[in-house]
Copies of this chain bind each other. A is one copy, B any other.
Amino acid sequence: MVFMRFRPQLIFSSLPRCIPKPRTPPAATLAAAAARRRHHTTAVFTSMAAPSEDVLRRALAERQAAVDAQAEAVRALKAGGGASKAGGGASKADVDAAVEALKALKIEAGAAARRLQQAVGAGAGGAAREELRQAVVNTLERKLFYIPSFKIYRGVAGLYDYGPPGCRVKANVLSFWRQHFVLEENMLEVDCPCVTPEIVLKASGHVEKFTDLMVKDEKTGTCYRADHLLKDFCKEKLEKDLTLPQEKADEFKRVLAILDDLSAEELGAKIKEYGIVAPDTKNPLSDPYPFNLMFQTSIGPTGLSVGYMRPETAQGIFVNFKDLYYYNGQKLPFAAAQIGQAFRNEISPRQGLLRVREFTLAEIEHFVDPEDKSHPKFVDVADLEFLMFPREMQLSGESAKLMKLGEAVSKGTVNNETLGYFIGRVYLFLTCLGIDKGRLRFRQHLPNEMAHYAADCWDAEIESSYGWIECVGIADRSAYDLRAHSEKSGVPLVAHEKFSKPREVEKLVIVPSKKDLGLAFKGNQKMVLEALEAMSEKEALEMKAALETQGETIFKVCTLGKDVVITKKMVSISMEKKLEHQRVFTPSVIEPSFGIGRIIYCLFEHSFYTRPSKSEEEQLNVFRFPPLVAPIKCTVFPLVKNQEFDDAAKVIAKALTTAGISHIIDTTAISIGRRYARTDEIGVPFAVTVDSTANVTIRERDSKEQVRVDINKVASVVQQLTEGQTTWGEVCEKYPAHVGPQGDQE
């Protein structure tokens, strides 16, 4: 996984840059800090792109001031205290005119308030999104796509089951993922345990850094995510308080933008400053402190061996690098992949099905020579064109725009061909599943979102009722992960490039003189010695020159925090020629990481629509899943209940089974229209209705068109349709249309 959860160091802290930032958490997939951050930064940049909010806020303030002034004037007129007319009260006509003017001003102010409300997202658009989500989620839960886990025990926040149709959709998505990535690219798939010993996650940085900041209700002990409370407070102010002065609005927006960069102290200070209290009890809150998001456990019976449920699947691949490299005949590049459960003990899960405590990840680690990130199959995706959102466009307030992938790589917008290749493959994967091209964009990480070691990162973001959701992260993580495990385990995780003939290379040789250093620096000798040995080639050559010309030089020793004087006899620096037979290097890794649950949820939203029933009294729900994804490919309906039709249905079902087409027979004694509606609601693409024993009809879900097909051919036609060998259009041309008495959508 790609993202860093905590980047305070990068921005606010004074930690030296040489301390590695944590390898980061499944942000890419579920519940990510990165997603939070992005959500906000995006919100800010969006408002920059359409700066009407500021203008509207000012306009509203002006209108409101005008209303206030006019109201004051009306009051003065009515009180007769107007100074304009000598001695007498204002005329009724004057008062009436003033009141009319006030009314007009109030209408204007009202309109301005509505415009502002819409602009800040609390208006009709937000409500429509909320309504769509409710309709989708209701259908999903009613049809058991999802079930809140352990429901009879009142459930556990952030845990959901996939019920029967959901489970099939998930299996279809994973099976297509395997086909599209693992088989197509001959990746080495592995399957590692979820239970992971502490040392692995220490090396990856998760034990130290995989945390969220938490506050507690000081009286009840209830826990909250500190950034959530601050975010809610600021959003509430911005959306509901339309009279907010512009400076205050700007401040809250700034806080939202930097929310994820705030340190514990800074978050605590803001919470105090704004007087934020526990939402449920209004009790005071503790100071924020880090809470590690891994589920901890103990391996074996002694209680001494700490383990965690893995927060991502990637580490299982990295620790196997050496074996996999040998398995691949010691050749680069190659990719390894893993599908599996990952875990994340969220403090207080929100966003329903998107932010959960256990989820399925599918991750690829593509290992390449850092000196050659070209990809032989890049040409296959170079002509793809889709919405891209490079960092420059985000920073300049533009929106994502259609770009050709080939150009994005050749212009250097995307760092290298391999990264570009995976971006293209991810685009194909998502759109084949049924994700709407218009609501899919590839967003590049901003400089402050990326780990310092990362070469480039792009997220596939899908627009849903929750906004733009990060569903796949595609990152060039350089050699960071392999290096971290090499260091911790002492096992070199490296690749070799054998030279066809040995090469002469110049190598820097630094030989400190322990004796002279000891005499000069006593107890500090070791630190000076290490600092000398750690010099870069450039530093060493500068020192060599200085020592040769001046005999001594000033040298800064970080670990001592001071400068020391180095003389000529303390160190010998030279460039020596050597013959090398091979190059040994740590491969770079390019990591596409898929949050399967998030992709599926967005797919549900993108596939959902409603249409009126025939009687137009109710809306019917439909999921327009492509056959690839549909939980069931075909239903078989005997039109009326009789033995002949039932037998014919069984013959068709048997043929479908042989053809490997999942299907159900629905013999319930309700109208055919009702039965169509019922399977439309779980997204079954084709229905076979048995109204004769010689030939039957096939109905397509979205067009509701029907054709007549011989009973012995029906299974093979459905097979061709579901496997993409023919289209519905072609079938309609080939077979006679059915326009019979069978009702549809009663």
Contact = CB atoms under 8 A, between A and B. Distances in A.
Interface of A: 144, 147, 149-153, 156-157, 159-164, 166-168, 170-171, 175, 178-179, 183-184, 186, 188-197, 199-200, 214, 221-223, 291, 295-302, 305, 307, 309, 316, 319-320, 322-324, 327, 329, 336, 341, 343, 345-348, 357-358, 485, 488-489, 491, 493, 657, 660, 662, 664, 668
Contact of A162 (B190, B295, B307, B341): B190
Contact of A150 (B200, B358, B662): B200
B152 A485 contact: yes
Contact of A151 (B171, B296, B319): B319
Contacts of A149: 192-193, 316
Contacts of A320: 147, 151, 161, 163
A197 B300 contact: no
B147 A167 contact: no
Contacts of A657: 183-184
A323 B195 contact: no
A293 to B, nearest CB: 9
A309 B153 contact: no
A178 B174 CA distance: 14
Contacts of A159: 193, 195
B156 A194 contact: no
Q: How many copies does the complex hold?
A: 2
Contact of A199 (B153, B196, B222, B345): B153
A363 to B, nearest CB: 14
Contact of A189 (B164, B179, B223): B164
A195 B294 CA distance: 12
A189 B167 contact: yes
Contact of A319 (B153, B200, B358, B491): B153
Contacts of A186: 664
Given A163-B320, A329-B668, A197 B144 contact: no
Contacts of A322: 152
B300 A297 contact: no
15 contacts: A144-B324, A150-B199, A152-B491, A153-B488, A156-B195, A161-B320, A164-B190, A167-B190, A168-B189, A183-B657, A193-B358, A295-B299, A296-B297, A300-B346, A301-B348
Contact of A152 (B151, B178, B345, B489): B489
A341 B147 CA distance: 19
B144 A323 contact: yes
A160 B144 CA distance: 34
B296 A295 contact: no
Given A144-B323, A153-B200, A156-B195, 4 more contacts: A164-B324, A168-B189, A221-B302, A300-B348
B327 A144 contact: yes
A211 to B, nearest CB: 11
Contact of A309 (B192, B195, B489): B195
A222 B302 CA distance: 7
Contacts of A152: 319, 322, 485, 489, 491, 493
Contacts of A178: 171
Contacts of A144: 323-324, 327
